[in-house]
Structure 1
Amino acid sequence: MNAASLAEGNVNALNPYVQGFYAPQLEEVTATDLAVIGELPTDLWGAYVRNGPNPFEIPDEPHHWFDGEGMVHSIYFENGKAEYRNRYVLSDDNLADMKGDGADARGVLVPANRDRPNKVYKDTANTDLVMHNGQLMALWYISGTPVRLDARTLETLGNEDFGGKLPRNVSAHGKVDPETGEFLFFDYSLYEPWMSFGVVSADNELTHFAKIDLPGPRLPHDMGFTENYVILHDLPVVFTDSGIRNGMWQIRTEQRGARFGVVPRNGTAQDVKWFETDPCYLYHVANSWEEGDEVVMIACRMTPNNFKPNPEHGQFGGMVNILALHAYAWEWRMNMKTGEITSRQLDDRLSEFPAINQAYAGRKTRWSYHVAMANENLQRFEGLIKYDLETGAKEEYLFDDQLGGSEPVFAPRANAKDEDDGYVITYVTHTESGASEVLILDAKKFSQGPIARIPLPARVPAGFHATWADGDKIAV
């Protein structure tokens, strides 16, 4: 989809997030035994899967990039070979839209449908992916219904409610504890003053759930977890009063600090220990862990980008500016005995969408792999950064000009010896031609660039979050 393909007078004619690099891939493709440039490691087994918004037709209402139906792109590796698939996530709202009877489900640039219980906007399941109990779950950033997918074929298996015990919804950015196999999640309401968190066992049983009252409605995006705790976010970016009254996506910054709530994984509202810090907003957490009396959280802290709306984007200028993420790697340390919190900036390079070796999630990690954000009006990932969280050192690998990347994953090699013994994998797409490929980097030789490239038979548009599914954990 490009500018020429939009019908004359289409409301989205000036919307860059339905065109070019951001236009949807309208075909579902399967391709096996892909050609490789370089040498594909034989000790790489599993799937790199990435979610993202992908409208199944040209929108005829003002369209926010986040409104597109979820589509998952996957490249599966085994025995030195690779195969590619992409499939729509068949959430209830996505199916209704595809069938033409989805009028009750609306995007965030038009008034919310307050008559829809628990979900006032279209649940696209387009944001995140987690690997749990042998399958993928596609998750949505405004808190929706988890959708199970086959991790090999990407077939939609159905909605997940954890044996009928899920109280309401699940937000994107739930976490899986690699030691216990538990799925840790949070939920929130757009218009009510609470959030909640839950724990689901490795065999899919909801074992704990707690509701946390808040001073007002909040808009959290991520969470942290450690061996013993969950870290909840109470951040000073909220709906405006008129937005709440009229059901419009209108947000403002409150004049207060941010708060992080550290609560035992089996705790209740009475057990939350709140730590107040400087005003800020966080989209994505890299990892959290316990170190002596302290709970440590590494995340990407947002800062104003100070861009002015581009007249060429018309009514979408404000949306474009908000989507241009300006964030820096940051560390917070919360002392559970003294109640003190300290923070520090780790780098002055714009970076976001962090990834780690998921086998170390919730425990102390040395390495974090981030997307290098281009300092541009439109969101584009211009490369990758490997941070050494112990020494503060970093390595960069920047893509060729006019390439945009995806959130990377760390894929451990078979019989890995240590934390960064494996590969960093990402999709890249040419922003003009649409040609896409997969890049595979040796994590220990990161700055040397790809050891293998795999041209793809389909375009992979810009998108959101990714995960790695170990081959021996994929249910068959």
Structure 2
Amino acid sequence: MGGKALNDLNPYLHGLYGPVKDEVTADDLPVIGEIPRALHGAYFRNGPNPAEPPKGMHHWFDGDGMIHGIWFENGRARYRNRYVQTQDLKANGASTMPGIFEPSRDAPGRKVHYRDTANTDVIVHNGKLLALWYISGQPIAVDIETLDTVGVENFGGKLPRNISAHSKTDPVTGELVFFDYALYEPKMWTGTVSAEGALTQFQEIDLPGPRLPHDMGMTENYVILHDLPVIFSDSAIRNRLWQIHVADQPTRFGVVPRKGGDAKWFEFPTCYVYHVINSWEEDEEVVMAACKMVPNGLKPDPKYGPYAAMADVLALRAQPFLWRMNMKTGEGREQQIDDALSEFPVINNDYAGRKARYSYHVVFDDCIEQRFSGLMKYDLQTGKSERHDFPQGVFGSEPAFASRIGASEEDDGWLVTFTADMDGNSEAHVIDARNFSAPPVAKVQLPCRVPAGFHGIWAQGV
């Protein structure tokens, strides 16, 4: 089967997920409703967008990174999208690095084994955006006003290795707290970069074997590393997967001082965690809230042919949990927050690493494809939740919380998210966080479709 015919069966190259061809700039966008004057800043969202039609088996995660941004000021909005100019993208098809359905290769000097697309996460640090990759790659600095790529950020040449997606920025100190891992080595690394861009701490953590973590926790004084029972596997790739679960191993979380020191490990029942909600310190405990994966209850769909297994793995189903780790007694406790399914959690990032009351999650459409049909607001103190549904046939992105200018309370602001429908139309929705189930206060009409993608961030006042 040729590449084109093969990829006609790939659901993540068509419809909501199909790439957009052009880089677009548009000012003074049309609005349904009214953009609040106290909404001032920008929402950015990263995701995969293949610059060239794939020639062989293509995993959704392989698409070249493209950041979509919308800036709000004085009741108006402007939009632009730009490719993240990674080393592999700039090779104009000449890159020798494989996608994740192919055997891995070494990349001398880069410490990656696959095409590094910087397509997964986007965070704000030192006045710039950093585009990050989920298998831990080179962080790419992006101009926060234009989305033009600045280049690889190696912090004055001091970065020893790579940085993984879901590294964190501390809202109080401005520090970047990061982690790194390797596909073949039984090690993980963590470090800190100052608000001004200087590497101030870096250390290696030994593991029982290679692991495939996706996120980390951060508190005022600690990082929480994930030793999860999932590993990379060449044999799994031959079965159109790229990871395997090792069910007889416990899940372990390692609490490591941010200033350096030994990890204190806590064991919990076997599970996998993609995304952390938030982490904080509470008396003698370090607490992490995250979305714990549960069986999706779906069966691979034969209509996707060789992509059926990929679609099954991408059908994320998770529930919110708390893990409490007592630093004095060594006791660990797991507590379920809710039995509803949700994922891609965000908070008001002014509270990152501190105890926050509210989190906001996406709700999945009831199908095997990764479609977000609504949002959920959780009260982490009471466990109560409130739901915001997108219109029928409209699907959203991971949102970001945007504080009202001058806000003094945690949920005084809006959720901003991109949406897309099956007809190729996209909008940015502005949702009142305190009137969450109500229709958006503003729907900003975008000049092009925003393909379904991964993670977003709010930058206040830019």
Match of 2:163 in 1: 170
Q: Look up the equivalent residue of 1:388 and give its one-letter code.
A: D
Tell whether the 8 Å contact from 1:350 to 1:374 is kept in structure 2 after alignment: no
Check 1:247–1:184 CA distance in 2 against 1; reply closer, same or farther (3 A cut): farther
In 1: Cα distance, 2:369 partner to 2:183 partner:
27
| CA displacement, residues 44-95 of structure 1 (integer Å, 9 cap, x when unaligned) | 1111000000001210110000000000000000111100000000011121
In 1: Cα distance, 2:189 partner to 2:413 partner:
35
For residue 112 of structure 1, report the CA deviation from its aligned partner. Answer: 1.1
Tell whether the 8 Å contact from 1:111 to 1:247 is kept in structure 2 after alignment: no
For residue 35 of structure 1, report the CA deviation from its aligned partner. Answer: 1.1
Counterpart pick for 1:38 among 26, 33, 51? 33
TM-score normalised by structure 2 residue count: 0.97
Check 1:64–1:248 CA distance in 2 against 1; reply closer, same or farther (3 A cut): closer
2:271 matches 1:280: yes
2:204 matches 1:216: no
Check 1:194–1:32 CA distance in 2 against 1; reply closer, same or farther (3 A cut): same
User: Aligned to 1:63, what secondary structure does the other structure show?
Assistant: coil
TM-score normalised by structure 1 residue count: 0.94
In 2: Cα distance, 1:110 partner to 1:185 partner:
28
Q: Look up the equivalent residue of 1:442 and give its one-letter code.
A: D
Check 1:257–1:33 CA distance in 2 against 1; reply closer, same or farther (3 A cut): same
Match of 1:114 in 2: 106
Tell whether the 8 Å contact from 1:14 to 1:314 is kept in structure 2 after alignment: yes
Match of 2:447 in 1: 457
Match of 1:57 in 2: 52
Match of 2:222 in 1: 229
Tell whether the 8 Å contact from 2:230 to 2:243 is kept in structure 1 after alignment: no
| CA displacement, residues 116-144 of structure 1 (integer Å, 9 cap, x when unaligned) | 55111000000000100001000000000
In 2: Cα distance, 1:377 partner to 1:207 partner:
44
Tell whether the 8 Å contact from 1:222 to 1:284 is kept in structure 2 after alignment: yes
2:84 matches 1:89: yes
| CA displacement, residues 392-430 of structure 1 (integer Å, 9 cap, x when unaligned) | 111101111211110000000100021011111111100
Tell whether the 8 Å contact from 2:285 to 2:325 is kept in structure 1 after alignment: yes
2:147 matches 1:179: no
Tell whether the 8 Å contact from 2:395 to 2:419 is kept in structure 1 after alignment: yes
For residue 299 of structure 1, report the CA deviation from its aligned partner. Answer: 0.5
For residue 375 of structure 1, report the CA deviation from its aligned partner. Answer: 2.7
Q: Percent identity among equivalent residues?
A: 58
Q: Look up the equivalent residue of 1:214 and give its one-letter code.
A: L
Please show how residues 350-361 of structure 1 align to structure 2 within 5 Å.
350-361=341-352
Tell whether the 8 Å contact from 1:349 to 1:372 is kept in structure 2 after alignment: no
For residue 160 of structure 1, report the CA deviation from its aligned partner. Answer: 0.3
User: Aligned to 1:369, what secondary structure does the other structure show?
Assistant: strand
Match of 1:441 in 2: 431
Please show how residues 384-395 of structure 1 align to structure 2 within 5 Å.
384-395=375-386
For residue 8 of structure 1, report the CA deviation from its aligned partner. Answer: 8.4
2:343 matches 1:348: no
| CA displacement, residues 2-34 of structure 1 (integer Å, 9 cap, x when unaligned) | xxxx98853212111101111001111100011
For residue 264 of structure 1, report the CA deviation from its aligned partner. Answer: 0.7
Match of 1:197 in 2: 190
2:15 matches 1:15: no
In 1: Cα distance, 2:352 partner to 2:186 partner:
30
| CA displacement, residues 354-409 of structure 1 (integer Å, 9 cap, x when unaligned) | 11111110000000011112231111011011100111111101111211110000
User: Aligned to 1:321, what secondary structure does the other structure show?
Assistant: helix
Q: Which moved more, 1:318-327 or 1:401-410?
A: 401-410
Q: Look up the equivalent residue of 1:76 and give its one-letter code.
A: W
Structure 2 gaps of 5+ residues are: none
For residue 239 of structure 1, report the CA deviation from its aligned partner. Answer: 2.7
In 2: Cα distance, 1:245 partner to 1:19 partner:
24
Counterpart pick for 1:257 among 246, 250, 263? 250
| RMSD of aligned residue pairs (Cα, Å) | 1.8
Match of 1:3 in 2: none
Tell whether the 8 Å contact from 2:241 to 2:310 is kept in structure 1 after alignment: no
Check 1:21–1:362 CA distance in 2 against 1; reply closer, same or farther (3 A cut): same
Tell whether the 8 Å contact from 1:10 to 1:60 is kept in structure 2 after alignment: no
In 1: Cα distance, 2:441 partner to 2:348 partner:
19
User: Aligned to 1:59, what secondary structure does the other structure show?
Assistant: coil
In 2: Cα distance, 1:248 partner to 1:296 partner:
32
User: Aligned to 2:434, what secondary structure does the other structure show?
Assistant: helix
In 2: Cα distance, 1:140 partner to 1:391 partner:
34
User: Aligned to 2:448, what secondary structure does the other structure show?
Assistant: coil
In 1: Cα distance, 2:312 partner to 2:72 partner:
37
In 2: Cα distance, 1:302 partner to 1:248 partner:
17
Counterpart pick for 2:97 among 79, 88, 105? 105
2:312 matches 1:318: no
For residue 240 of structure 1, report the CA deviation from its aligned partner. Answer: 3.9
In 1: Cα distance, 2:4 partner to 2:75 partner:
50
Check 1:42–1:199 CA distance in 2 against 1; reply closer, same or farther (3 A cut): same
